[in-house]
Amino acid sequence: MESGKTTSIGKIAKRIKESGKSVMVAAADTFRAAAVEQLEVWSKRANCDIIKGSENQDPASVVFEAIKKAKENNIDVLICDTAGRLHNKKYLMDELEKIQRVIEKELPDADKESLLVIDATTGQNAIEQVKAFKEVSNITGLILTKLDGTAKGGVVIGIVHENKIPVKFIGVGEGIDDMEVFKSSDFVKAII
Ligand SMILES: Nc1nc2c(ncn2[C@@H]2O[C@H](COP(=O)(O)OP(=O)(O)OP(=O)(O)O)[C@@H](O)[C@H]2O)c(=O)[nH]1
Ligand SMILES: [Mg+2]
């Protein structure tokens, strides 16, 4: 689903870079060649390194290599881009689970975040997405994208309330600076 994962990674990478930390991105959406190219464009914009696998390489092995490189180069933050469009949902979830396992094994003591990106225009379907992702990953936060349109993303209120998962960032456009830290008071005002 094109919720804005890759775009959000570009935006976050730039923020982290500007805060003085080093960032690396891993192109673990190996299913589509275009996905790797897209992340490469964002890594250039954010001025950070990128680790790419070969086409159709196992995404978990790309993440494994990226962690190795990040360790070797003392990188502060590694962000892994994952696929949203695969043959079927089961395949996608198995892949995410495998990636999670590699990260847990290779970085047992690191601070880890697993962010689910939700398109504000998605509506009730977002609840299903959270349910599915919770089965394979410990979601630590949400990113709500496309709030620059007419959608207000009201569906996340229920999600946050029920799952106790915070919204970390909101996407407000397609540009690299079009991301804001989520402030619940502004959000509630916009919805009312
Ligand atoms: N208006 C608006 N567009 C956005 C925002 N975030 C992403 N987009 C657009 O949404 C489209 C999909 O973004 P991607 O980052 O490719 O989404 P993705 O989740 O990586 O998609 P897949 O890799 O195909 O699963 C692109 O055209 C982006 O420019 C946002 O906050 N506002
Ligand atoms: Mg993508």
141 lines ligand 1 (CB under 6 A): no
Do 59 and 26 contact (CB within 8 A), yes or no? no
173 lines ligand 1 (CB under 6 A): yes
Nearest CA to ligand 1 atom 1: 173
Output the CA 72–ligand 1 centroid distance in Å: 31
Non-local (6+) Cβ contacts of 9 within 8 A are: 25, 39, 42, 79, 81
Do 171 and 147 contact (CB within 8 A), yes or no? yes
11 lines ligand 1 (CB under 6 A): no
Rounded to the nearest integer, the mean pLDDT of the chain is 92
85 lines ligand 1 (CB under 6 A): yes
d(CA 98, CA 94) in angstroms, rounded, equals: 6
Output the CA 189–ligand 2 centroid distance in Å: 31
Q: What is the pLDDT of residues 85-138, one digit of tens each?
A: 766 788 889 999 999 999 999 999 999 999 999 999 988 888 988 998 999 999
d(CA 145, CA 169) in angstroms, rounded, equals: 8
Nearest CA to ligand 1 atom 10: 4
Domains in the chain (CATH in brackets) are 1-112 (3.40.50.300), 113-192 (3.40.50.300)
Q: What is the pLDDT of residues 60-75, one digit of tens each?
A: 999 999 999 999 999 9
pLDDT exceeds cutoff 80 at 41 = yes
d(CA 105, CA 150) in angstroms, rounded, equals: 42
